[in-house]
């Protein structure tokens, strides 16, 4: 492969391409390793995660509870007594060989002098005694050190909030390098709860100051429950959706456009039929302005209400490449409606970490195929893959790819139906060219054809030939974005 001016120039044999080289040409021998287009996560909470990344403890890749508790202790030693220590999602107790999460006594023993909280997705947050005291709580708010109320969990996350732009930039930069380490070169940022206009300040400043190791396409959501329509109007009118910055720009609207219509993680039934009018009003506004939309919906009933609203819009949504995010519980009838409407779906591996949590209210048949990826592909529905990291799931794309291929969950839920599994080629396609399609960039990203951006990853193992059990452990040896080396683990 020959690369020049940030693009793929040509593909061919050594002899053919050496004719293009001169004494200034850098030659990199990748040692017969597999080279793939840079991975694109179609649903990642990039802006939100970057703001607190340097202050968090991550448990995503740890294998034992002792390692996890040691990581908390190390962070406490680094920042000193009295400061908050937090783990914000991306893990499940079953990865430690137990479905039982660490207890308050475990956290008290390892870090008695710091308030500590450990959030598991959006299901619960574990706190130590010092944290309970700092929050002014009693046994009612945190029985046995467990917090399950969404307000309480949000209040704990707020303890790690970052107001300083430089600090948020540092965390975002650290996060991007971790994503590069895994072969990720781009993502669609999903926006989400708590993201306001100024949440993007540090992100854009980082790129203004020269960040060129990642391509981010950003969604804008409603920031204030109860005034969503006004929020969307103001924010869409204030941005330039025609900007052509190759590295960071706004893509459209999402993931939350109406707070009352958001069905969270789908753990409990939620009837949103009363939100049909609001969804139609907001969606019509965006469609008439030709704004791409990615909208959260997990339960089949919620998807149905959403489709009711979208089917009444007198605009060809297929041309706008709208997407439903997640659609884990979607049934056959609504899948056919999605196909007929011409919209797409961005799928994630959240069910690999919350199947057990959904089991009390979902039927075994639905759980075994959630989301029905193979059926979506067979129907011709455009789909792309992502993680929904970094709270609901781990941000590692190879764990998602492994789950799509093997159907094996992290939380110990029964394996997925074989009939809904994908091949490794299909899974890689959903993480490359499919992700680029949703941002109208399939001609220049997600592939390695001449003329495309030179975004690529040289892998530690070949996903096309290794045992399926080894896919989740793959990393990038070299990651290149726009022809520039942004990650190198060879030294």
Delimit the domains of the chain by residue range.
51-160, 166-437
Is the bond preceding residue 389 a cis peptide, omega within 30 degrees? Answer: no
What tokens appear for 345 in the block? 């779906």
The mean pLDDT value for 159-177 works out to 95
What tokens appear for 36 in the block? 């793939």
What's the pLDDT score for residue 163? Answer: 83
Instruction: Give CA angle at 120 (116, 121), nearest 5°.
Output: 130
The mean pLDDT value for 226-241 works out to 94
What's the pLDDT score for residue 230? Answer: 96
Mean pLDDT of the chain: 96
Fold classification of 166-437 (topology level): TIM Barrel (3.20.20)
For residues 289 and 320, what is the distance between their CA atoms, to the nearest angstrom? Answer: 10
What's the pLDDT score for residue 97? Answer: 84
Q: What would the pLDDT profile of 34-86 be if each residue is shown by its tens digit?
A: 999 999 999 999 999 999 999 999 999 999 999 999 999 999 999 999 999 99
pLDDT at 1 over 90: yes
Give the residues across from 297 on adjacent strands: 326
For residues 271 and 286, what is the distance between their CA atoms, to the nearest angstrom? Answer: 24
DSSP per-residue codes, 94-150: GGGT-SSPPPHHHHHHH-TTS-EEEEETTTEEEE-HHHHHHHT--TTTSGGGEE--H
Percentage of the chain modeled with pLDDT above 70: 100
Q: What would the pLDDT profile of 241-267 be if each residue is shown by its tens digit?
A: 999 999 999 999 999 999 999 999 999
Q: What would the pLDDT profile of 317-331 be if each residue is shown by its tens digit?
A: 999 999 999 999 999
Question: Which H helix or E strand runs over 42?
Answer: strand 39-44
Q: What is the pTM of this model?
A: 0.97
Percentage of the chain modeled with pLDDT above 90: 96
Write the CA distances from 67 to 31, 61, 95, 352, integer angstroms. 34, 10, 12, 22
Q: How confident is the model at residue 101 (pLDDT cuts 50, 70, 90)?
A: confident
The mean pLDDT value for 153-165 works out to 93
What tokens appear for 477 in the block? 């040896």
Residues 6+ positions from 137 with CB-CB distance below 8 Å: 152
The CA-to-CA distance between both ends of the chain, in Å, stands at 23
pLDDT at 487 over 90: yes
pLDDT at 164 over 80: yes
Exposed, middle or buried by CB within 10 Å (0-12, 13-18, 19+), for 169?
A: buried
Q: How confident is the model at residue 197 (pLDDT cuts 50, 70, 90)?
A: confident
Q: How confident is the model at residue 472 (pLDDT cuts 50, 70, 90)?
A: very high
- CA quadruple 46, 51, 57, 62: dihedral, nearest 10: 10
What tokens appear for 50 in the block? 């970057």
Q: What would the pLDDT profile of 396-425 be if each residue is shown by its tens digit?
A: 999 999 999 999 999 999 989 999 999 999
What's the pLDDT score for residue 99? Answer: 62
For residues 443 and 453, what is the distance between their CA atoms, to the nearest angstrom? Answer: 9
Q: What would the pLDDT profile of 267-276 be if each residue is shown by its tens digit?
A: 999 999 999 9
The mean pLDDT value for 430-442 works out to 98
Q: How confident is the model at residue 121 (pLDDT cuts 50, 70, 90)?
A: very high
Write the CA distances from 307 to 3, 91, 337, 381, integer angstroms. 44, 32, 7, 15
pLDDT at 363 over 90: yes
Residues 6+ positions from 353 with CB-CB distance below 8 Å: 92, 121, 392, 393, 394, 409, 410, 411
pLDDT at 208 over 80: yes
Q: How confident is the model at residue 194 (pLDDT cuts 50, 70, 90)?
A: confident
């Amino acid at each position: 492969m020959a690369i020049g001016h940030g693009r793929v120039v040509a593909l061919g044999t050594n002899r053919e391409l050496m004719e293009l080289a001169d004494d200034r040409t850098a030659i990199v021998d990748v040692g017969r390793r597999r080279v793939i287009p840079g991975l694109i996560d179609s649903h990642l909470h990039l802006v939100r995660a970057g703001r607190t990344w340097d202050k968090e403890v991550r448990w995503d890749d740890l294998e034992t509870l002792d390692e996890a508790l040691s990581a908390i202790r190390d962070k406490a030693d680094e920042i000193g007594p009295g400061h908050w220590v937090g783990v914000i999602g991306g893990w499940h107790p079953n990865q430690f060989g137990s479905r039982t999460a660490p207890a308050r006594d475990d956290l008290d023993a390892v870090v008695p002098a710091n308030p500590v909280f450990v959030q598991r997705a959006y299901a619960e947050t574990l706190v130590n005694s010092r944290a309970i005291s700092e929050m002014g709580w009693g046994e009612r708010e945190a029985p046995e050190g467990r917090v399950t109320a969404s307000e309480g969990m949000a209040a704990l996350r707020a303890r790690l909030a970052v107001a300083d732009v430089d600090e948020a930039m540092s965390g975002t930069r650290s996060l991007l390098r971790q994503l590069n380490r895994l072969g990720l070169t781009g993502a669609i940022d999903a926006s989400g709860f708590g993201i306001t206009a100024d949440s993007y300040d540090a992100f854009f400043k980082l790129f203004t100051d020269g960040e060129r190791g990642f391509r981010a396409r950003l969604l804008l959501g409603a920031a204030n429950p109860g005034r969503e329509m006004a929020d969307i109007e103001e924010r869409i009118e204030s941005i330039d959706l025609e900007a052509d910055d190759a590295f960071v720009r706004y893509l459209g609207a999402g993931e939350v456009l109406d707070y009352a219509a958001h069905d969270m993680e789908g753990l409990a039934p939620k009837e949103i039929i009363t939100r049909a009018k609001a969804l139609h009003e907001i969606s019509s506004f965006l469609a008439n302005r030709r704004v791409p939309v990615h909208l959260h919906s997990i339960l089949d009933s919620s998807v149905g209400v959403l489709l009711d609203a979208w089917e009444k819009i007198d605009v060809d949504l297929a041309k706008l490449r709208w997407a439903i995010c997640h659609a884990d519980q979607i049934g056959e009838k609504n899948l056919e409606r999605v196909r007929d409407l011409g919209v797409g779906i961005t799928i994630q591996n959240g069910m690999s970490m919350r199947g057990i949590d959904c089991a009390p209210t979902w039927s075994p048949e639905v759980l075994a195929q959630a989301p029905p990826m193979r059926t979506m592909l067979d129907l011709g529905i455009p789909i792309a893959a992502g993680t929904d990291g970094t709270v609901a799931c781990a941000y590692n794309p190879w764990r998602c790819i492994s789950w799509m291929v093997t159907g094996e969950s992290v939380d110990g839920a029964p394996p997925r139906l074989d009939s809904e599994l994908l091949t490794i080629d299909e899974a890689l396609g959903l993480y490359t060219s499919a992700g680029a399609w949703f941002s109208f960039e399939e001609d220049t990203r997600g592939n390695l054809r001449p003329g495309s951006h030179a975004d690529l990853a040289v892998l530690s193992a070949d996903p096309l030939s290794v045992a399926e059990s080894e896919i989740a452990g793959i990393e990038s040896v070299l990651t290149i974005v726009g022809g520039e080396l942004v990650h190198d683990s060879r030294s």
